[in-house]
């Protein structure tokens, strides 16, 4: 699968289209609208993130785990399922099937590790 070419242009189309849908989503929209007041900044950061993840450009310098743990109470299992469904739909709509599959695979793995971090946070708090 790694012979599928992915470009910065793919990421530049995908990220804004995805968050456009996120903002309209009844479950996810309110979580993001409360947290984000500078959308252009968020979109630029997420493009850097996906560029780092898919093209290993190292442009993103951040700590997604720490950021998401801050919202642990809102990031339920259902929220993750909704996020991943929307990601699947958007990547399928915008990219070739092979490229979409690579973005979906990465997102699945990252979501799993974020969820583990959030579960760990809840478990520690319950001690």
Which residues of this protein are in contact with ligand HEM, per CB under 6 A? 28, 31-32, 35-36, 45-46, 49, 62, 64, 67-68, 71, 75, 79-80, 83, 107, 110-111, 114
* Residue the block writes with tokens 């990601």: 87
Tokens at 54, concatenated: 């898919």
Shorter beta-carbon distance to ligand HEM: residue 42 or 96: 42
CA distance linking residue 45 with residue 54, whole number of Å: 14
Q: How far is CA 16 from CA 22, 102, 115, in A?
A: 10, 18, 24
By beta carbon distance, the residue nearest ligand HEM is: 62
Min dist CB 81 to ligand HEM, Å, is 8
Q: How far is the CB of 72 from ligand HEM (least distance, A)?
A: 10
């Amino acid at each position: 699968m790694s012979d599928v070419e992915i470009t910065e242009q793919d990421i530049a189309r995908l990220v804004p289209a995805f968050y456009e849908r996120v903002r309209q989503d009844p479950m996810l929209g309110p979580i993001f609208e409360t947290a984000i007041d500078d959308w252009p900044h968020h979109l630029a950061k997420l493009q850097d993130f996906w560029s780092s993840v898919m093209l290993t450009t190292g442009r993103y310098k951040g700590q997604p785990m720490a950021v998401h743990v801050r919202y642990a109470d809102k990031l339920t299992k259902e929220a993750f399922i909704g996020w991943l469904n929307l990601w699947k739909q958007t990547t399928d709509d915008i990219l070739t099937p092979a490229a979409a599959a690579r973005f979906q695979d990465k997102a699945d793995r990252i979501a799993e590790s974020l969820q583990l971090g959030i579960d760990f946070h809840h478990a520690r708090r319950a001690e």
